[in-house]
Amino acid sequence: MRRPMTIIAIAVGLVIALAACGGDDDDDSEGRLLRVVSTVSPITSIVENIGGTRIDLTGIIPEGANSHTFEPAPSVVSKIEDADLIVLNGLQLEEPTLELAEANKNDDAVILLLGDETLSEDEYKFDFSFPISQGRPNPHLWPDPTLVMEYAQLIRDALVDLDSANEDYYSTNLATFNDRLEVLDRQMLASVQTVPPENRKLLTYHDSWAYWADRYDFTVIGAIQPSDFAEPSASEVASLIDQIDDEGIPAIFGSEVFASDVLETIANETGAEYIDDLRDDDLPGEPGDDAHSYLGLMVENMRTMIPALGGDAAPMNLVVTGLVFEDGPSTAVYPQ
């Protein structure tokens, strides 16, 4: 008579065990890192500094790619589907990526558009590559570290909303990162002051410097890449040549990634030095290097720009460019 009871006990035990296993499957978010996806590498770096070791971070736009036109590969969809937080610069910078995110994110995922949350419409800047007639504001806010402080706060708030248990950690990283941004701002101001006022003018490959120029009392006289990403017209090039001749600008700046025959022509015609390694969103060095960061990007750009315009970039040596957290190495993915 004991055998049936044994069978019943075994059956009950199996039911309990299966229920326990099912509970683990249903709550797979417990104990895992917050999954975060970001776009261009400066944004990924800012997110990494705030999230540190408490997030699983993947950038999806390769460094040096044209973020305006970049079409994510199908393999990116799985990253977006799994993400808790998707961070973009916004202001229509990464439209194909945003469309993919909106179509494939899970119902609980948050899309954070940093630029849209940082500027009001009356603060938008329009220029050669981003004319007001097309209604697309210049989206390159990150060269201005005072605007990056706003980005960092938005990222911290989004992480806390999704992961309140790590609020103190994210807030500590934010405070340290902001301290470094303040140093970066002070040293850029100091470096710019060494540039003769008549040389504080920029002609670049792409309109990435509008907000930076406003902060540091520079004038952007033009950009070679028009709004449709084609080549500028002959009349536009001739006008820029005349302007450089008239104003005696000593140097013009090309992209570290995108070569420009037009800029070379302008340099040859005017005698201005052509510097071809200014960076928009391609971080210096390799992933894991201290210089491979948003802070490193801006330090490297100042070391490129300031001496070519007659100034001294030595103040930039005081900027610490590495990660702000010390509880682990970088694990963020920066596609190359």
**111-166 confidence digits (pLDDT tens):** 999 999 999 999 999 988 888 998 899 999 999 999 999 999 999 999 999 999 99
The separation between the first and the last C-alpha atoms of the chain, rounded to the nearest angstrom, is 71
Total number of domains constituting the chain: 2
Nearest of 121, 151, 140, 147 to residue 49 by alpha carbon? 151
Quick check: helix, strand or coil at residue 99?
helix
What phi and psi, each to the nearest 5 degrees, are found at residue 274? Answer: -100, 115
Domain closes at, from 154, 185, 216 = 185
More confidently predicted of 10 and 303:
303
**Residue 214 forms part of a structural domain:** yes
**Residue 146 forms part of a structural domain:** yes
Based on the domain organization, do 145 and 215 belong to the same domain?
no
Confidence of residue 9 (pLDDT cuts 50, 70, 90): very low
| pTM for the predicted model, two decimal places | 0.89
Based on the domain organization, do 242 and 289 belong to the same domain?
yes
Based on the domain organization, do 41 and 126 belong to the same domain?
yes
Average pLDDT over the chain reads: 89
**Residue 155 forms part of a structural domain:** yes
Domain closes at, from 141, 165, 185 = 185
Domain closes at, from 146, 162, 185 = 185
**Residue 167 forms part of a structural domain:** yes
**Residue 330 forms part of a structural domain:** no
Based on the domain organization, do 165 and 298 belong to the same domain?
no
Based on the domain organization, do 280 and 156 belong to the same domain?
no
Based on the domain organization, do 65 and 176 belong to the same domain?
yes
Based on the domain organization, do 136 and 44 belong to the same domain?
yes
DSSP 333: B
Q: How much is the pLDDT for 230?
A: 67
Distance, in Å, from the CA atom of 154 to the CA atom of 170, rounded to the nearest integer, reads: 11
Based on the domain organization, do 248 and 273 belong to the same domain?
yes
Q: Please write down the HEC assignment for all residues of 229-278.
A: CCCCCHHHHHHHHHHHHHHCCCEEEEECCCCCHHHHHHHHHHCCEEEEEE
Domain that holds residue 137: 34-185
CATH code at 226?
A: 3.40.50.1980
**Residue 65 forms part of a structural domain:** yes
Based on the domain organization, do 147 and 220 belong to the same domain?
no
For residue 89, the surrounding DSSP H or E stretch is none
Q: What is the mean pLDDT of residues 228-255?
A: 85
Based on the domain organization, do 219 and 116 belong to the same domain?
no
